[in-house]
């Protein structure tokens, strides 16, 4: 039997990873990567940071960890993998087990046979189907060519106004990149919030922060692009507003690139991605698919999702590289959809289910808490973290977490991701054995204190009220007492301005006579992060007040306007 012939279609992330792993499994296999573009193994998640000037050497987007550019010569010399760049695959002939291709530079056509085929065709950037979308000055940030175009705009410094369409991960990262280029930016999002993987309260905190850097317009979409002589001059919104600009970056998401798979008759799922099993095998036993073109199961719900994340693409590629050589011996289990993005000086990340998604999926017996605290002690220049945790009320299992702020968000999201993947309960998290030293953490890590709050809530020791709930109750003019228990200096510096009264925590026991005689009246307590607010609630409960709630996250997590 001759050497095994492995063909990989797609040379971005998952494809080269699959090819490289296959080579490590079999020195003699004939492995060929077909890539429509000219570059290979691009770090596409790095594009916004190249555009923004975090680094200037474009080749860093194409380098191995050792700093070697991963071009065709590299793949052949280091890995004995043939790469056919600037070559489009036109058709998969499953019956003959071969692909048909075209050399884009010469127009030459050809075929090549395979024993195992890997489809890693990625995803296509969506564009709004509106007039003017082909005008010069409108781009996505999907390809390295897009990154080159936007970096040239940054370096030239001519364009002064831009519109970013889409408030997801790429849109937010693009806003930062263009802001760093000195461009005045308007961010337009059709939905009522940014970053839909967050719940509205958390997204509102991000929105308030982004508004300090750019103009943010929500609940409004693009009606058309307006131009002169083929060049963009303005974006017209659905409400008739016209925003003058010379650049528009469309970042409204991606769709799986499944054209080849569809035409070959492979099964396509409800999400639009190629259907694969745990081995990343398609409906054809000799064809595997990986990366942004596939759908995979959500490990919490079991339902298929499209999860176009660079880390998942690489992990899937590793699985496929082994399976095409050794048979189906390893599995990729699925995803809990962990993600993070940089928003200027904030990190914003999530893992698992949001409250909104849980409810949409019919998971309603849940509990949530919001915790605001520092990531490490103040004397070590600790920074704020705000976490929303979602748990199953019945068994205390952790369903999801969202974290944002200038603190160490990545660490927190990683902790919660592993807790969810390991099926930890809240009770198992409250005594988690995490590393502690003042340069890195509080003595009780932010994640553990979040678990403490959730445990107290699940056991009835803590009654919280979210910012959204309080706002709605205020709209209804519900009778309540609002109690800020900070000190007077803090109160003068900033307050919510909701008609609250100030009774510092240290004076509360001696000033109970200032509260209503009705011990059943609703009392809402808070401080900066609601730690003192919780202690105040316990004092009031001990004195016979029966309806005391703590504003979760305190002033730090209040996403609406404040009084200064």
Contact 261, 276 (CB under 8 A): no
**DSSP 3-state of 539:** helix
Q: In this structure, what token pair is assigned to residue 254?
A: 């991606």
Final residue belonging to a domain, choices 235, 252, 269? 252
259 and 194 within one domain: no
Helical axes 200-210 vs 169-180, angle rounded to 10°: 10
The backbone region for 381, taken as left when phi is positive above 0, alpha when psi lies in -120 to 50, beta otherwise, is left
310 and 285 within one domain: yes
Residue 354 burial by Cβ neighbours in a 10 Å radius (0-12, 13-18, 19+): buried
Does 131 fall in a domain? no
Q: Which residue's entry shows tokens 């993005």?
A: 341
What does the pLDDT average to over 150-161? 94
Question: Considering the chain, what is the average pLDDT of its residues?
Answer: 96
Helical axes 144-156 vs 169-180, angle rounded to 10°: 30
Among residues of the chain, what percentage have pLDDT more than 90?
97
Does 217 fall in a domain? yes
Does 433 fall in a domain? yes
234 and 266 within one domain: no
414 and 442 within one domain: yes
- The Cα–Cα gap between 469 and 452 comes to 22
pLDDT classification of 2: cutoffs 50, 70, 90: confident
Collect all residues with Cβ–Cβ distance below 8 Å to 301 and sequence separation of at least 6. Answer: 353, 361, 363
259 and 248 within one domain: no
List strand residue ranges (DSSP E) for 50-134, in order: 82-84, 87-93, 98-103, 109-113, 116-119, 123-125
- The Cα–Cα gap between 536 and 88 comes to 67
Does 331 fall in a domain? no
- The Cα–Cα gap between 413 and 437 comes to 19
- The Cα–Cα gap between 8 and 193 comes to 39
Which pLDDT score is estimated for 28?
97
154 and 111 within one domain: no
Final residue belonging to a domain, choices 230, 252, 274? 252
Contact 15, 122 (CB under 8 A): no
What does the pLDDT average to over 73-98? 97
Q: In this structure, what token pair is assigned to residue 24?
A: 């490590």
pLDDT tens readout for residues 525-550: 999 999 999 999 999 999 999 999 99
* Segments in 460-523 forming alpha helices (H): 467-475, 488-493, 505-508
What is the residue range of 296's domain?
A: 5-123+255-326
- The Cα–Cα gap between 268 and 293 comes to 10
Q: In this structure, what token pair is assigned to residue 141?
A: 């940030």
106 and 28 within one domain: yes
Contact 122, 291 (CB under 8 A): yes
**DSSP 3-state of 53:** coil
> Is the pLDDT reported for residue 267 higher than 90?
yes
CATH of the domain at 527: 3.40.250.10
What does the pLDDT average to over 63-86? 94
What does the pLDDT average to over 291-314? 97
Does 133 fall in a domain? no
pLDDT tens readout for residues 13-33: 999 999 999 999 999 999 999
296 and 362 within one domain: no
Which pLDDT score is estimated for 95?
97
pTM: 0.95
* Segments in 54-162 forming alpha helices (H): 72-79, 144-156
For 387, other C-beta atoms within 10 Å of its C-beta total: 29
> Which region among 54-68, 323-337, 440-454 has the lowest average model confidence (pLDDT)?
54-68
3-state helix, strand, coil in the chain (%, to 5): 30, 25, 40
User: In Å, what is the CA distance from 261 to each residue of 102, 188, 363?
Assistant: 17, 34, 34
**DSSP 3-state of 33:** strand
Which pLDDT score is estimated for 505?
98
Does 414 fall in a domain? yes
246 and 291 within one domain: no
Which pLDDT score is estimated for 477?
87
Which pLDDT score is estimated for 478?
83
Does 332 fall in a domain? no
pLDDT tens readout for residues 166-208: 999 999 999 999 999 899 999 999 999 999 999 999 999 999 9
309 closest CA partner among 281, 351, 359, 266:
351
238 and 206 within one domain: yes
Q: In this structure, what token pair is assigned to residue 318?
A: 């590793």
- The Cα–Cα gap between 90 and 531 comes to 62
Final residue belonging to a domain, choices 432, 458, 484? 458
- The Cα–Cα gap between 425 and 245 comes to 50
pLDDT classification of 564: cutoffs 50, 70, 90: confident
11 and 118 within one domain: yes
Element (H, E) at 18: helix 14-25
Domain count, the chain: 4
Q: Which residue's entry shows tokens 């993998």?
A: 81
- The Cα–Cα gap between 295 and 310 comes to 14
- The Cα–Cα gap between 549 and 543 comes to 14
65 and 16 within one domain: yes
**DSSP 3-state of 43:** coil
Among residues of the chain, what percentage have pLDDT more than 70?
100
User: What are the counts of helices (DSSP H) followed by strands (DSSP E) for the chain?
Assistant: 16, 31
CATH of the domain at 92: 3.50.50.60
Does 483 fall in a domain? yes
> Is the pLDDT reported for residue 1 higher than 90?
no
- The Cα–Cα gap between 365 and 416 comes to 20
- The Cα–Cα gap between 450 and 448 comes to 5
């Amino acid at each position: 039997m001759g050497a095994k012939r492995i063909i990989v279609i797609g040379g971005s992330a998952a494809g080269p990873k699959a090819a490289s792993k296959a080579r490590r499994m079999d020195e003699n296999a004939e492995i060929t990567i077909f890539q429509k573009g000219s570059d290979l193994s691009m770090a596409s998640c790095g594009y916004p940071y190249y555009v923004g000037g975090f680094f200037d050497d474009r080749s860093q987007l194409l380098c191995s960890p050792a700093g070697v550019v991963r071009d065709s010569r590299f793949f052949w010399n280091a890995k004995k993998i043939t790469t056919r760049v600037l070559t489009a695959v036109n058709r998969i002939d499953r019956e003959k087990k071969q692909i048909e291709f075209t050399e884009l530079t010469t127009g030459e056509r050809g075929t090549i046979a395979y024993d195992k085929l890997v489809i890693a065709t990625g995803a296509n950037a969506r564009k709004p189907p509106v007039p003017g979308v082909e005008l010069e000055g409108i781009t996505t940030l999907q390809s390295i060519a897009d990154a080159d175009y936007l970096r040239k705009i940054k370096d030239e410094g001519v364009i002064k106004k831009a519109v970013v369409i889409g408030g997801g991960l790429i849109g937010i990262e693009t806003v930062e990149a263009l802001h760093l280029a000195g461009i005045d930016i308007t961010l337009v999002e059709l939905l009522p919030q940014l970053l839909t993987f967050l719940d509205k309260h958390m997204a509102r905190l991000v929105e308030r922060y982004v508004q300090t850097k750019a103009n943010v317009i929500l609940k409004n979409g693009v009606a058309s692009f307006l131009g002169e002589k083929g060049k963009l001059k303005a974006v017209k919104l659905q409400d008739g507003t016209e925003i003058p600009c010379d650049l528009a970056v469309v970042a409204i998401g991606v769709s799986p690139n499944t054209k080849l798979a569809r035409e070959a008759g492979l099964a396509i799922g409800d999400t639009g991605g190629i259907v694969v099993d745990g081995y990343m095998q398609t409906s054809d036993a000799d064809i595997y698919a990986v990366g942004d073109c596939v759908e995979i199961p959500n490990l919490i719900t079991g339902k298929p999702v499209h999860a176009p994340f660079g880390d998942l693409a690489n992990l899937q590629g590793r699985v496929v590289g082994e399976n095409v050589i050794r048979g189906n011996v390893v599995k990729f289990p699925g995803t809990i959809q962990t993600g993070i993005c940089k928003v200027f000086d904030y990190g914003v990340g999530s893992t698992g289910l949001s409250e909104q998604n849980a409810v949409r999926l019919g998971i309603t017996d849940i509990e949530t808490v919001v915790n605001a605290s520092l990531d490490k002690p103040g004397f070590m220049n600790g920074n704020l973290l705000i976490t929303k945790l979602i748990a199953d009320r019945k068994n205390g299992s952790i369903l999801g977490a969202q974290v944002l702020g200038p603190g160490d968000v990545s660490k927190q999201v990683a902790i919660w991701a592993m807790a969810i993947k390991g099926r930890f309960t809240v009770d198992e998290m409250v005594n988690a054995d995490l590393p502690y030293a003042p340069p890195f953490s509080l003595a009780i890590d932010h994640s553990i204190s979040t678990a403490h709050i959730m445990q107290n809530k699940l056991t009835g020791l803590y009654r919280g009220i979210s910012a959204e709930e309080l706002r709605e109750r205020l709209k209804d003019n519900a009778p309540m007492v609002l109690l800020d228990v900070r000190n007077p200096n803090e109160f003068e510096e900033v307050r919510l301005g909701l008609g609250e009264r100030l009774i510092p925590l240290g004076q509360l026991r001696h000033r109970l006579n200032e509260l209503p005689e009705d011990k059943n009246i609703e009392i809402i307590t808070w401080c900066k992060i609601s730690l003192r607010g919780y202690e105040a609630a316990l004092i009031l409960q001990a004195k016979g007040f029966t309806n005391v709630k703590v504003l979760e996250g305190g002033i730090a997590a209040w996403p609406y306007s404040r009084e200064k």
